[in-house]
Structure 1
Amino acid sequence: MYYKFSVLSETGNEIDGIEQGSYSEIKNRLREKNYYLLSLEADIFKSIRFALKKKTVKAQTLALFFEDLVNMLKTGIAINEAVIALQESSIEPVLTKALSGIEDDLAKGFSLTQAFQETKVFPWLVLNMLKVGEKSGSLEQISDDLAKYYSREAEFLSSLKSAVIYPIVVFCMLVGIMFYVSFKVIPHLEALLPIRGNAYFSTRLLLFLSHFLKNFWFVCLLFPIAAIFIYSRFKKSSVEKIASFYYKIPLIGSVAKDAVFSTLFSNLAV
């Protein structure tokens, strides 16, 4: 999340700027610099733009990348030459750009882990595993393990996408039908059949929802944005409370816990 801040320096100068992080992190960061905080507000639009522009390497691409890297390392090709060859053969724009940066950083004397980290497109697991591989001298084995891991993850994500497509389509259709009924059907019925005050509660509730959606439809658009803002602001400061509540939700909580444990033990297996 991005935040706009205004502070006073020790010399009395007012400084404005933008920082990325949680609310508490940025606040502590500014205090450590001996700044007097005047204001700190979330920059929602910049955060949304950053989220839309942020790109990472997909699991399937990572699996293929590390498979090719393992094959090259087995033939005795140096890591910098392997990176150049993989860059030339890559058809993924994100990976190609990242490998170009890695090539330049390796030429400057950066370690492999540092070069990968500078791209900011590789998952933390890749960075940590590469660090272990560099220190232990088992980069070939680590790359092979990463290739197998991301191959399994790509298969899982593919199965998951196939499983959720139908519910998402049904949900979108229900939302569309709900808006159509609220905007078109119910107003006509209300005009033809005037509803009195002694109508059933369900009827009055349906009319209320219809009028609400018709007059305040934009709230449906603002609600997801507000939810993202609240979550990003409090997720680090109240992560334990949120997790405790989230895992207690019937059905969803148990599935989420199983997914977390599955990821944990998969990472340990690597």
Structure 2
Amino acid sequence: MPFYEYTAADSDGKLKTSEMEAIDRQTVISYLKDQNLLVVSVKEKTPQPLGKVFGGKISAVDKINLTENLSIMLRAGVNMPEALEVIGRDSKNPYFKQVLSDIRFGLENGKPLSEGLSNFPKDFNNVYISLVKAGEASGKLEEVLKELANQLKKEYNLISKIKGAFAYPIVLVVGLVGVMILLMTFVLPRLVAIFEGTNLQLPVTTRIIFAISQVFSYSPILTLLSFVVLAVAIVILSRQKKVKQSLNQMVFHIPVISNLLKQVELTRFARTLGNLQKSGIPILRGLEITAEALSLKSFKNVTVEAKEDIAKGVSLTNAFRKKESLFPQMIVSVMQVGEKTGNLDTLLLNLADFYEEQVDNTLRNLASLIEPVLLVIVGLAIGGMAISIILPIYQLMGSI
């Protein structure tokens, strides 16, 4: 259905501009009259280009701003449709504007916020929707949104730290590969032409390098295009959910990286389950939602198994006690104390902060380890290539 932008005045003469989805223009006018509004103008919105709306995405920053601003405005007494209108008006993301418009239209027709969010599962996961639904049920939506905004901020900061720690190594490796490709494509083919007219017995490494360079130089544009296509394909595949889970599971078995990934998953587990418990969501449903929020398949499976054990009457502590390979004794002890004192949510959130600090320490140690190792690898790669090229040149000069 098309979207219509309208301007209407209330009984006090205050103008309101918004938009709604409807079959035709007359439906919008009838709806506004039913709301006791005086219609000033109604016009159909110009469709957004497909590239801007279709396949759009709500960024993590947009989601944080939405959650935080919505909480602030609701506490200030602004009604929810108006709050969403203000947030959408300030955004520069066309897709985000469209999503907020759809949700606002549902609110104006009596649907709860959680139902509107559930129409966009790609943008709002089960954790987000469940917490909002719990806030609506308890009448504490403003507080739940505030806690949810804090959770999203911490998750965003955690991911940013990990990306930042690996940014330098990735740039270094990409730069090395780029230099190698340029040498193979444009420099080495000229040396190959020089050595082809001689009877020198070239070293094996030199012959291999020259053979690769001849392949690259056969069609430089096609070679570079192939690498670009390969890079794009890798990026697209790595964003697929199943591929991402498989890659995460493979990386999890690398000794140095596994400890970092384990700490990240424990942070996510403790913070998600803690917030769900704080919002009053039952433990079985909380574990089910938490399992969906985890990235590693092994952690997902263990959480689902624990939920099934609890459904059979096993305590939360005992359900995780036998999973010490993934869930250490510390988190099991916290669960035990939380069950006894009734403060499971607070203890889990404190534990999440502890593991987040551990992630920071691990990232610092990892960065100090990776950088020198990469520099050695880069030095060996460039040095090996240089030696493979320089030795034949000396042989050629000696034979003259």
- Do they fold alike, i.e. is TM over 0.5? yes
Which residue does 1:130 correspond to in 2? 132
Alignment partner of 1:257 is 2:257: no
The equivalences for 1:107-146 within 5 A come to 107-120=108-121, 122-124=123-125, 125-146=127-148
TM-score (norm 1): 0.64
The equivalences for 1:97-108 within 5 A come to 97-108=98-109
Aligned to 1:193, the other structure's residue is in SS state helix
2:109 alignment partner AA: K
Distance in 2, matches of 1:121 and 1:187, equals 49
Aligned to 1:245, the other structure's residue is in SS state helix
Distance in 1, matches of 2:154 and 2:236, equals 33
Per-residue CA deviation, residues 211-255 of structure 1 (Å, 9 max, x unaligned), is 33334725534545665787789938x96x766533213434443
Which residue does 1:29 correspond to in 2? none
Gaps of 5+ in 2: 1-49, 276-400
Which residue does 2:214 correspond to in 1? 211
Distance in 2, matches of 1:94 and 1:226, equals 25
- What is the deviation of 1:181? 0.5
User: Is the Cα–Cα contact under 8 Å of residues 118 and 124 in structure 2 kept in the other structure?
Assistant: no
Moved more, 148-157 or 221-230: 221-230
Alignment partner of 1:268 is 2:273: yes
In structure 2, the CA distance between the partners of 1:157 and 1:77, relative to structure 1 (3 Å rule), is: same
Which residue does 2:286 correspond to in 1? none
In structure 2, the CA distance between the partners of 1:234 and 1:175, relative to structure 1 (3 Å rule), is: same
Per-residue CA deviation, residues 184-213 of structure 1 (Å, 9 max, x unaligned), is 221111122348695322222212332333
Which residue does 2:195 correspond to in 1? 193
- What is the deviation of 1:144? 0.7
Per-residue CA deviation, residues 149-180 of structure 1 (Å, 9 max, x unaligned), is 12223333444454444334333322221121
2:140 alignment partner AA: S
The equivalences for 1:2-81 within 5 A come to 54-81=55-82
Distance in 2, matches of 1:220 and 1:99, equals 39
User: Is the Cα–Cα contact under 8 Å of residues 189 and 217 in structure 2 kept in the other structure?
Assistant: no
- Pairwise CA RMSD of aligned residues? 3.6
Which of structure 1's runs of 4+ aligned residues deviate more than 6 A? 228-234
In structure 2, the CA distance between the partners of 1:223 and 1:157, relative to structure 1 (3 Å rule), is: same
Which residue does 2:185 correspond to in 1? 183
The equivalences for 1:230-249 within 5 A come to 235=242, 244-249=249-254
Aligned to 1:204, the other structure's residue is in SS state helix
Distance in 2, matches of 1:205 and 1:231, equals 31
1:260 alignment partner AA: E
1:203 alignment partner AA: T
In structure 2, the CA distance between the partners of 1:103 and 1:226, relative to structure 1 (3 Å rule), is: closer
Gaps of 5+ in 1: 1-48
Per-residue CA deviation, residues 110-132 of structure 1 (Å, 9 max, x unaligned), is 32112122245533032222122
Indicate the structure whose relative CO is greater, using CA pairs within 8 Å and at least 6 residues apart.
1
Aligned to 1:235, the other structure's residue is in SS state helix
Question: What is the aligned residue count?
Answer: 219
Per-residue CA deviation, residues 15-51 of structure 1 (Å, 9 max, x unaligned), is xxxxxxxxxxxxxxxxxxxxxxxxxxxxxxxxxx99x
In structure 2, the CA distance between the partners of 1:197 and 1:115, relative to structure 1 (3 Å rule), is: farther
- What is the deviation of 1:102? 0.8
User: Is the Cα–Cα contact under 8 Å of residues 102 and 119 in structure 1 kept in the other structure?
Assistant: no
In structure 2, the CA distance between the partners of 1:247 and 1:59, relative to structure 1 (3 Å rule), is: same
Alignment equivalent of 1:166, drawn from 165, 168, 180: 168
Distance in 2, matches of 1:263 and 1:142, equals 18
Distance in 2, matches of 1:87 and 1:234, equals 29
Aligned to 2:119, the other structure's residue is in SS state helix
Distance in 2, matches of 1:53 and 1:213, equals 38
Which residue does 1:22 correspond to in 2? none
In structure 2, the CA distance between the partners of 1:148 and 1:242, relative to structure 1 (3 Å rule), is: closer
Quick one: percent identity of the two aligned structures? 23
2:181 alignment partner AA: F
